[in-house]
Amino acid sequence: MTSKTTRSKVIEAEKLGLTFDANDGPVHALKDVDLAIEKGDFVSFIGPSGCGKTTLLRVIADLEHPTAGSITVNGMTPEQARLERAYGYVFQAPALLAWRTIERNIGLPLEIMGLSAAEKADRVARTLELVGLDGFGRKFPWQLSGGMQQRASIARALAFDADLLLMDEPFGALDEIVRDHLNEQLLQLWKKTGKTICFVTHSIPEAVYLSNKIVVMSPRPGRVTDIIESDLPAERPLDIRESKRFLEIAQRVRTGLREGHSYE
């Protein structure tokens, strides 16, 4: 535990709440969320749809504004953090621009930041290699498979080179084989770069396999019901998913999900 106290907090939320005004009354997308994420964490947010996990990620990214409580990102408000380009964001869909090649798509954030052409080319080449897409830089997004497109969108978030990576169900639309492969690659990437990663998912095995911290959420109102620290070893081959410890953690996540969920 001593190592943890020395690590700095990347995200701190206290009594965070977000209420949407719908036609049939207010919707509590988030309510009383307390959360602390430390530097280098791989945190998964898991829960049924409507539990506010994506909303929470969007609040961190300053794409939604909380209506109650407080939240800081790198010690700043989310807006300041966004303007400082403190995070890279990976969406549910690749959201690659069809008129740009993969290279130029990955270079888009760098272009907006105003980096020099040489620096840009260097970073694009580096991140393409990191996600295993070297040789595909000149292709257009619609010439690649869905899995490759999503990897390109991860490369785009990485090229940004922020210490914080926010990922919103990035592999949700992919088949299981591609998903396994990308999960493995993502873990290696995390080890290699030491980034802080917030990862939204609704798959229990994915959450347990990837994270060192699992935030279990439940809907109506969206809230955190359990935070599980995983003690799985850093080295995680795919078959760790059959190990006893893995299944125990998965069981605890499942119980947490069930408790938070009402079937009335």
Partner 1 sequence: MTGFQRTIASLGGAAGLAAMVLAITDLGTSGIGLILGGILLAGVGLRHRTGVMPQARLDLAASLGGMVLLLSMLDGDMPAASWPLLIACWLVGWLAVEKSLAARDMSPTMSSIVSLAVPVFFGAWIIFVWEMLTVGLQVPTVLLPPPSMIAVRFAESTSILWADFQQTVIKAALSGYIIGCGSAFIIAILIDRVPFLQRGLLPVGNFISALPIVGIAPIMVMWFGFDWQSKAAVVVVMTFFPMLVNTVAGLQATQAMERDLLRTYASSYFQLLLKLRLPTAAPFIFNALKINSTLALIGAIVAEFFGTPIVGLGFRISTEVGRMNVDMVWAEIVVAALAGSLSYGLLSLLEKQVTFWHPSNRRKIQ
Does 258 help bind partner 1 (rule: CB under 8 A)? Answer: no
Give the integer Cα–Cα distance in Å for 42 and 232.
12
- The order of strands in the sheet holding 68-73 is 25-38, 9-22, 68-73
Taking contact as CB under 8 A, which single stretch among the options 136-144, 179-187, 194-202, 254-262 is the one that binds partner 1? Answer: 136-144
Does 260 help bind partner 1 (rule: CB under 8 A)? Answer: no
Least distance in angstroms from the C-beta of 58 to partner 1: 8
Q: Rounded to the nearest 5°, which phi and psi values hold at 51? A: -90, 0
Does 88 help bind partner 1 (rule: CB under 8 A)? Answer: yes
Q: Which long-range contacts (CB under 8 A, 24 or more apart) does 186-195 make?
A: 186/154, 186/210, 187/236, 189/130, 189/131, 189/158, 190/42, 191/234, 192/130, 193/158, 194/40, 195/40, 195/162, 195/163, 195/164, 195/165
Does 140 help bind partner 1 (rule: CB under 8 A)? Answer: yes
CB closer to partner 1, 143 vs 251: 143
Taking contact as CB under 8 A, which single stretch among the options 66-74, 83-91, 177-185, 223-231 is the one that binds partner 1? Answer: 83-91
Does 76 help bind partner 1 (rule: CB under 8 A)? Answer: no
- Give CA torsion, residues 98, 104, 110, 112, to 10 deg: -50
Does 109 help bind partner 1 (rule: CB under 8 A)? Answer: yes
Does 173 help bind partner 1 (rule: CB under 8 A)? Answer: no
Greatest C-alpha distance within the chain: 59
DSSP 3: H
Does 36 help bind partner 1 (rule: CB under 8 A)? Answer: no
Does 65 help bind partner 1 (rule: CB under 8 A)? Answer: no
Taking contact as CB under 8 A, which single stretch among the options 106-114, 182-190, 235-243, 255-263 is the one that binds partner 1? Answer: 106-114
Token pair in block for residue 261: 């969920």
Does 61 help bind partner 1 (rule: CB under 8 A)? Answer: yes
Give the integer Cα–Cα distance in Å for 71 and 82.
13
Does 160 help bind partner 1 (rule: CB under 8 A)? Answer: yes
Residues of the shown chain interacting with partner 1 in the complex, contacts defined by CB under 8 A: 61-63, 82-85, 87-89, 91-93, 95, 97-99, 108-109, 111-113, 140, 142-143, 160
